[in-house]
Amino acid sequence: MTTAVFLSGAGLGASLIIAIGAQNAFVLRQGLKRRHLGLVVTICALIDVLLIGLGIGGMGALIARAPVLLDVIRWAGAVFLFLYGVRAFHAAWKGPGHLQAENGESQTALKAASTVLALSLLNPHVYLDTVVLLGGIGARYGWPGNAWFAAGAMCSSIIWFTALGFGARLLRPLFEQDVSWRVLDVIVGVVMWWIAGALILSR
């Protein structure tokens, strides 16, 4: 029984986490450039673990009853993602010169941490997925089933971000070409603007 519940949490957690989004795109870029990767992966995993735990603990029901809070997060997230998309398109347009400047630029740990925190927390879907959805489904199992369900979802998150970040080095030969970075920047920009538009249009 416990194994089935654990796997159920892991499967649902993976289905929600493994998707093209702002957070995953940033982790991929950090992995390719090998910049503060351990810090970024740890922050992403800890955020998911914390939110899943809060959801299982009953916070999901509280957030579901706070539409004003979700609206504030929705608009703040849309603005941030739009600006991040502009930055990505600008990087793609600058091309090789941008890459050379960025390779010589030292990104601080604080900047990396603040960026991943904003990308992670300024997206209401993060709360709806981890806190409300996973928390609501996990709560149905009762104790200790809900704990096993949460553990499965948490493990999926930790494994995914670790694999995405540290596995990105396997793609480094591809990204030795300038055009690959241009394409990645364009894809990131499109994803950011698509998510921003979805947030604005969502009700």
pLDDT 10s digits, 98-108: 444 444 456 78
Predicted structure pTM score: 0.74
Say what the pLDDT of residue 66 is.
Answer: 65
Tell me the pLDDT of the chain averaged across its residues. Answer: 80
Using the predicted structure, report yes or no on whether residue 153 has a pLDDT greater than 80: yes
Say what the pLDDT of residue 15 is.
Answer: 74
Using the predicted structure, report yes or no on whether residue 65 has a pLDDT greater than 70: no
Number of structural domains (the chain) is 1
Is there a contact between 186 and 20 (Cβ–Cβ < 8 Å)?
no
Q: Which domain, by its residues, includes 50? A: 2-201
Interatomic CA distance for residues 195 and 12, integer angstroms? 21
Of 34, 66, 35, 17, the C-alpha closest to 171 is 34
Confidence of residue 69 (pLDDT cuts 50, 70, 90): low
Tokens found for residue 159: 């494994």
Is there a contact between 112 and 36 (Cβ–Cβ < 8 Å)?
yes
Interatomic CA distance for residues 127 and 76, integer angstroms? 14
Enumerate residues 6+ apart whose C-beta is below 8 A from 193: 81, 82, 85
Is there a contact between 171 and 32 (Cβ–Cβ < 8 Å)?
yes
Phi, psi of 141 (to 5 degrees): -80, -20
Confidence of residue 60 (pLDDT cuts 50, 70, 90): low
